Every structure is written in C-alpha cells, then in structure tokens.
Amino acid sequence: MENISKYRLLVCCTVFILLLAVAGRSAESVEEEEERQREADMVKKLPGQPPVKFRHFAGYVKLRPNEDKALFYWFFEAQSEASLKPLVLWLNGGPGCSSVAYGAAQELGPFLVRSNNTQLTLNKFSWNRVANMLFLEAPVGVGFSYSNNSNDLRQLGDGITANDSYAFLVNWFKRFPSFKSHHFYIAGESYAGHYVPQLAELIYERNKGANKDSYINLKGFMIGNAVINDETDTKGLVEFAWSHAIISDQLYVRINKECDFLHGHLTLQCSEALKGFMEAYADIDIYSIYSPVCLNYDFSNLLVPPHRLFSNSQEMWNRGLPSGYDPCTQDYVEQYFNKPEVQMALHANTTKLHYPYTLCSGVIKGWNDSPDTVLPILKKLLNAGLRIWVYSGDTDGRVPVTSTRYSINKMGVKVNEEWRTWFHKNQAGGWVETYEGGLTLATVRGAGHQVPLFAPQQSLSLFTHFLHNNPLPLSRF
C-alpha cells in the first residue's frame, strides 16, 4: 500500500509539473503573439508623413473572445524619453465622432491633415511632445471600429461605450506591456464629457479588485467644452448666445419663459422659440462664433435639428467645424482616410466595411442611455484623489464657458484660488479658478469648441501644466 501511495503521489506531482509547464508555455505563447501583433501594428510608410524620430502604431484590438467587436486605435510614442512620459488616452465625443479624424488629424496629433493632397503637416504643438498619446475610435461603428454583429449598432449608449473602452485598454496593455506602469490619464472634449468620467469611474471601481494584469495606473483626467449637466449646459447655451449678441432680448426672454430645461419638457411654444434660436445661428458656426464658415456647405446644414441641439444624448457636432487654417479641413480629413493606401498603412479597414470612412458615424442606429448629469461622478472621483481639470474655449457657442461655469458651481466645491488670468508667452491665455480636492476650471482665450485646433500653443501649455500638476502661470514674465 505504501508503494501504491508513493506511486500516486509521484503521478500527481508529474501531472502538476506538466500542467505548470503547459500553462507557462501558453502564457509565453500569448505574450509572443502580442509582441508579434505589436510589431505588425507599427506604421512604417504613412502617405504624406514628414520624417520623425518617434514611433507610431495603429490597428485593431478585439474586445472579448465571444464577441465580434474590434476597436481601432492610433498610438504615438512621445517625441523624446517615451519610457519616462505618461500615457494619455484621447476621446472625442458626438456621440459617434472619431478621435482619429478629429483629435489626431485636426487638433493635437503630430500629423495634421491641412490640404486635399496626401501631404501631412507636422504639428509643432502636438501633445506627444510631453506624453505618449493614444487615440481610440469608440464605440463600434465609429471610424474604422466595427462589429460583425449588426445588432451591436442598435444597442449602443454610454454604458456600453465605457465597458468596451475599458476592455480595449486591458487588452491594449497586453500588447504594449511596457506602458502598463506609466501614469495614465484620459482627456477629451464635447460629449467626451460623458465618456471620460464614466471610463475613469469604471477603471477606479475595477482597480479595487484588479490583479497586476488588469490594474490601470489612473491618475486623473481633463475634459474640454464638455457636456456634463444638461440643465446648466442648456441654460448657459442660451445665455451665451444672448450675451454675445447672437439672439435678441425678446427671443432670450421668450426662451426662458417657454422652456423648462430643468425638467426637460419641450412644449410647442418652446420648440418655436428654439427654432428662432437655430435661425439666429444659421449664418455662423456655433462651435466657433468668430470663425469663417466653409462655403462648400449649405448653411442650413451647419446646425443640428432642435431636438438634437437641445438634447445632449443626441449631440451630433459633425457639421461646420472650421479650423484656424481652413474651415473646410474636415473635407480633407475624410478624403485622406478613405484613400486605400492610407488605410493599408494604418492597418485599417481590414474587414472591408460596406460604408465609407466618415468623421462622425452614419451607421450607429441610436443612443440608448445618456444620463442628464455626470457631476456626481466628478465629485466621487475628486474625493477618490484623482486630478480633474475642466477647460473651455471661450468662443464656443455649443457647450460654452457659461454652461461650464454654471455646472462647476452646481457641484458646490470650495474655491481654493479665485478666478484670475493665466498667461502664455506674455499674453493672457485665459482665466482659471482652482478648487479643493484637485479640481481646476480654466478657459482658453479665443478658442472654439476644439481648443487644440484654434489655440494650439495655449492648449499644449494647459496640457503640460495638467500633467505636472503645476498651477497655470500667474504673470506675464
């Protein structure tokens, strides 16, 4: 019996050792596969790209084994000392607009599309000067991101977007494990005022039970011209138009009398008043009120319908977005990303989507959940010790600085340093107020909805101070 017991013990130990070896080989093979995929994702011959010394990668990350979803990313290593710089995820809003087409190609990426030829312009004020920048097209149906299950396009909303973006990050870090220990931040604009805090909250909660493979080293986030609280967003929208002489005294009084923005009830009288509001913006760009419009567009298309203009759950800001260089830039961007040689270089559209690339999705079938406020999330994450900066280009009429100030005031956070000027290159860059717990509200003078597009130097300064947790400059010299 003793010999039998010894034999059984020997067999068990042998089986256990073999299982460990198989598991070790399996883990090693997964790592090797991710390394191969990372090398395959490196962008080597992007059409029109100026020469640079940093590397960039683009491709797909599948989210879960039992799903047909894959999200597209474009990642730029920092221009110097990438191993020492933080990692920042950039998200655009919409819902349904592309962070590649807007953030990377028009605003803060190193290669900007500025003409209708293939030549790209090197951005001297790219945010990858101070950080490793990751641009994500989310959710599925946006840009090159896709699902092979058409039902997925009917089930989208804030919750699914946050969960899918989180799954993307966990899997992206497997492909780029050297960035896992870096300080991680999220940034974005417009409807990303929902995306960014919701994803940050999800990361914060999942980190509580995370192991070393799924833990994300989140330190904070920043959001610009951000949709964060429907009531005050809309109140500030109307007030901005009146205070900037876009709507009349009579229309301003009528809107405030007929429309109940607190409860979201839109009566017939309110709808008529909002129609007048839209007509007042018909000849200018609501996203940058002092910029020229692109004459290639029908002015009637520069505004969204009333039910979308005043319903943040359906905010579609994909029309009439001029740049500081050419108000027709978005035309050029769309042309560029539809070129087969560009898609091949970026390892994009590998499944040959049946629709063309667009800056904002034309295939998403609806938006199923959008809370009317994210202010409780902001307060929760402030109390958790995250750094939160909210910034506002002060010539944006869509999510104007008046809206953001009302929304921040509604949070009731104690002021540490009252409203003051901050400076960039001896000139006023904007105004700033800081609050207890790590909250900062800053404006960027003369910038529209897409702050890095209209004020690239000031936005890079703002971003750099955020990353280093330094106060914005308080004097000209």
Quick: pLDDT tens for 70-120: 999 999 999 999 999 999 999 999 999 999 999 999 999 999 999 888 899
Residues 145, 190, 288, 407: which is the catalytic one? 190
CA distance 321 to 330: 7
Say yes or no: 117 and 174 in one domain. yes
Contacts of 40 (CB under 8 A, 6+ apart): 59, 347
User: Is residue 50 in some structural domain?
Assistant: no
Contacts of 220 (CB under 8 A, 6+ apart): 185, 386, 387, 388, 389, 438, 466
Residue whose entry in the numeric block shows the structure tokens 């990668």: 57
User: Is residue 75 in some structural domain?
Assistant: yes
At residue 322, the pLDDT reads: 31
Say yes or no: 139 and 214 in one domain. yes
Say yes or no: 436 and 381 in one domain. yes
Say yes or no: 61 and 203 in one domain. yes
What CA–CA distances, in Å, run from 199 to 11, 206, 222, 315, 463? 48, 10, 12, 19, 20
At residue 213, the pLDDT reads: 84
Say yes or no: 283 and 401 in one domain. no
Say yes or no: 124 and 98 in one domain. yes
For 469, other C-beta atoms within 10 Å of its C-beta total 12
Burial per residue of 384-422, b for 16 or more beta-carbon CB atoms within 10 angstroms, e otherwise: eebbbbbbbbbbbbbbbbbbbbbbbeeeebeeeeeeebb
Q: What is the mean pLDDT of residues 177-181?
A: 96
Residue 399, phi then psi, degrees to nearest 5: -125, 75
Residue whose entry in the numeric block shows the structure tokens 């990858």: 128
Q: Which range (89-103, 231-245, 258-272) has the least confidence?
A: 258-272
- Per-residue pLDDT band for 262 (boundaries 50, 70, 90) equals confident
Say yes or no: 288 and 187 in one domain. no
Which CATH number belongs to the domain containing residue 431 in this structure?
A: 3.40.50.1820
Say yes or no: 62 and 193 in one domain. yes
At residue 267, the pLDDT reads: 86
User: Is residue 199 in some structural domain?
Assistant: yes
- Per-residue pLDDT band for 34 (boundaries 50, 70, 90) equals confident
What CA–CA distances, in Å, run from 41 to 76, 172, 264, 394? 12, 12, 46, 38
Range of the domain at 94: 56-227+370-468
User: Is residue 27 in some structural domain?
Assistant: no
In the predicted model, is pLDDT for residue 14 greater than 70? no
**How many structural domains are present in the chain?**
2
At residue 331, the pLDDT reads: 86
Q: What is the mean pLDDT of residues 47-55?
A: 97
In the predicted model, is pLDDT for residue 123 greater than 60? yes
What CA–CA distances, in Å, run from 10 to 19, 22, 49, 243, 394? 14, 18, 62, 84, 75
User: What global pTM score does this model have?
Assistant: 0.89
Q: What is the mean pLDDT of residues 398-405?
A: 97
Q: Provide the mean pLDDT of the chain.
A: 89
Q: Report whether the peptide linkage leading into residue 95 is cis, meaning its omega lies within 30 degrees of zero.
A: yes
User: Is residue 32 in some structural domain?
Assistant: no
CB 171 within 8 A of CB 62: yes
At residue 49, the pLDDT reads: 97
User: Is residue 70 in some structural domain?
Assistant: yes
Task: Concatenate the DSSP letters of all residues of 403-434 into one string.
Answer: HHHHHHHHHTPPEEEEEEEEEETTEEEEEEEE
At residue 75, the pLDDT reads: 98
Say yes or no: 174 and 221 in one domain. yes
Beta strands per DSSP E along 124-259: 132-137, 146-147, 184-189, 218-224
In the predicted model, is pLDDT for residue 445 greater than 90? yes
More confident residue, 283 or 408: 408
Which of 272, 290, 317 finishes a domain?
Answer: 317
At residue 474, the pLDDT reads: 94
Which of 317, 348, 382 finishes a domain?
Answer: 317
User: Is residue 15 in some structural domain?
Assistant: no
Q: What is the mean pLDDT of residues 279-292?
A: 92
Residues 392, 449, 459, 461: which is the catalytic one? 449
CA distance 248 to 70: 48
Say yes or no: 213 and 265 in one domain. no
Whether 230 sits among the annotated catalytic residues: the reply is: no
Whether 190 sits among the annotated catalytic residues: the reply is: yes
- Per-residue pLDDT band for 13 (boundaries 50, 70, 90) equals low
Which of 273, 296, 317 finishes a domain?
Answer: 317
* Secondary structure of 341-386 as H, E, C letters: HHHHHCCCCCCCCCCCCCCECCCCCCCCCCCCECHHHHHHHHHCCC
Say yes or no: 189 and 64 in one domain. yes
Residues 291, 396, 407, 459: which is the catalytic one? 396
Whether 396 sits among the annotated catalytic residues: the reply is: yes
Q: What is the mean pLDDT of residues 337-352?
A: 97
The one-letter amino acid code at 154 reads R
Identify how many contiguous H helices and E strands the chain contains and give both numbers: 13, 13
In the predicted model, is pLDDT for residue 305 greater than 50? no
At residue 135, the pLDDT reads: 98
Say yes or no: 377 and 423 in one domain. yes
Compute CA 472 distance to the chain's CA centroid, rounded to the nearest angstrom. Answer: 23
CB 257 within 8 A of CB 286: no
User: Is residue 9 in some structural domain?
Assistant: no
More confident residue, 110 or 305: 110
CB 421 within 8 A of CB 431: yes
